[in-house]
Amino acid sequence: MTLFCSTIIPTIGRETLARAVESVLVQDFDPADHEVIVVNDSGRPLPAAAWQADARVRLLQTEQQEKSIARNTGAAAARGDYLHFLDDDDWLLPGALTALQMLAAQKPQAAWLYGRARFEDPQGKPVGSIYLNRDGNCFVQMVAGYWLPIQASLIRATVFLAAGAFNPAIHVTEDLDLARRVALTGDFAGTAQDVACILRGQAWGSATDYEQGPVWVRWSRDQILAQPAAFARLQSSADSGFWHGRIFHAYLTTMIYNLRQRHWGTAVKRGGYTAAALLRSGRFLFAPDFWRAVRTHHVGRDFH
């Protein structure tokens, strides 16, 4: 039987797992339309918990294979039309699934649905929020490195599989890499409602090595720009001088990246696209926003 949505929670056995699972189970949502798949990647049995007896929950095992493989394992077993990935230290907010289901009814063609994500520190203090506030073709935003948290997103299952799922070789920023591959062909749609809370802050601890993030962001960007449809998709997603500037910036920096890697042939190809991006910018070349985008290293403050 097909369901509307499957929530997949990979876990390394953190104490916060119960909060994550319960935040999904207490949603005001038809139980017949939703399931929770917990993927235990800790390498040891999970402590007994009340949620394990809930008929809506399935427990799968992976043996310390890292979170991308754990997520993909859950996705392969999921019955939902949409997939929701929640980390074991984050949680859904009340009304989240209902809001996203309403969005799915309004935007049935969207491959990726998302809401606003809130951030809290371990003491429960709010430390910010994030919301893309764009619908349709969001490829340039994803190539530019803008983060769209998967904890606050639903991804159409068929699109997720067609895009190749999470890349298990990437241990950080794997969600951005997935978003880029989905955005190459699929459209996005958002709701401004808060749907998920993500643990962050100075006292927050993580098993992820975020120091490697910039390395994988550059590698992922280079891979997606190598796709034949990338340039045309970028051009059709740019609606201002700023976004044309981000396209030029993306090709310029990936050309430099390939020069440093001594990939001479690829660097020449990227150089050609850099020149083409500059020419396609047209009148926007005289806009201050274009050059502000070129100078911006990563994500602007106005995104948060």
Let me know whether 89 and 202 are in one domain. yes
- Is residue 62, in this structure, part of any structural domain at all? yes
Looking at residue 282, the DSSP 8-state letter turns out to be G
Question: What's the rounded Cα separation, in Å, for the pair 115 and 90?
Answer: 15
Residue 82 in domain: yes
User: Within a domain: residue 222?
Assistant: no
Q: How many domains does the chain have?
A: 2
State whether 60 and 129 are in the same domain. yes
Handedness of CA 21, 94, 69, 211 (dihedral sign): negative
* Strands 57-61, 91-92: pairing kind: unpaired
DSSP string, 115-127: EEEEEE-TTS-EE
Structural domain for 11, as ranges: 3-212
Using CA atoms, how far apart are residues 204 and 187, in angstroms rounded to an integer?
A: 33
Q: Are residues 21 and 140 in the same domain?
A: yes
The phi and psi torsions of 71 (rounded to 5 degrees) equal: -65, -45
* pTM: predicted TM-score of the whole model, two decimal places: 0.92
Helix (H) or strand (E) holding 59: strand 57-61
Q: Considering 212, 229, 263, which residue would you say is the last residue of a domain?
A: 212
For 103, the token pair is 């969005």
pLDDT at residue number 64:
81
Asked if 259 and 203 sit in the same domain, the reply is no
Token digits of residue 97: 């699934």
Q: Is residue 229 part of a domain?
A: no
Q: How far apart are CA 262 and CA 112, in angstroms?
A: 36
Q: Is residue 167 domain-resident?
A: yes
Which residue's structure tokens are 């040891």?
44
Walk along the chain (304 residues) and give the pLDDT tens digit of each residue. 689 999 999 999 999 999 999 999 999 998 889 999 999 999 899 999 999 999 999 999 998 888 999 999 999 999 999 999 999 999 999 999 999 999 999 999 999 999 999 999 888 898 899 999 999 999 999 999 898 999 999 999 999 999 999 999 998 899 999 999 999 999 999 999 999 999 875 545 555 566 777 888 899 999 999 999 999 999 999 999 999 999 999 999 999 999 999 999 999 999 999 999 999 999 999 999 999 999 887 644 433 3
Do 143 and 259 have their domain in common? Answer: no
Strands 153-156 and 112-120: antiparallel
Question: Residue 297's pLDDT is what?
Answer: 74
Q: What is residue 205's three-state secondary structure?
A: coil
What would the two tokens of residue 17 be? 């797992």
Res 163: pLDDT = 97
Query: Which ranges constitute the DSSP H helices of the chain?
Result: 17-25, 67-77, 96-106, 139-143, 157-162, 174-183, 213-225, 230-237, 241-260, 264-280, 288-295
Tell me, yes or no, whether 271 and 183 share the same domain: no
Tell whether 227 is covered by a domain: no
207 and 90 part of one domain = yes
Task: Tell me the Ramachandran region of residue 43: left when phi exceeds 0, alpha when psi lies from -120 to 50, beta otherwise.
Answer: left
41 with 162, same domain: the answer is yes
Instruction: Look at the block and give the residue holding tokens 């994550």.
Output: 20
Q: Which residues are registered as beta bridge partners of 58? A: 37
Domain boundary among 212, 229, 246: 212
Both 105 and 35 in a single domain?
Answer: yes
Q: What is the CATH number of the domain that holds 189?
A: 3.90.550.10
Please indicate, yes or no, if residue 221 is contained in any of the structural domains. no
Residue 53 lies in a domain: yes
Helix axes 241-260, 230-237, angle to 10 degrees: 150
Helix H, strand E, coil C: the string for 128-143 is EEECCCCCECCHHHHH
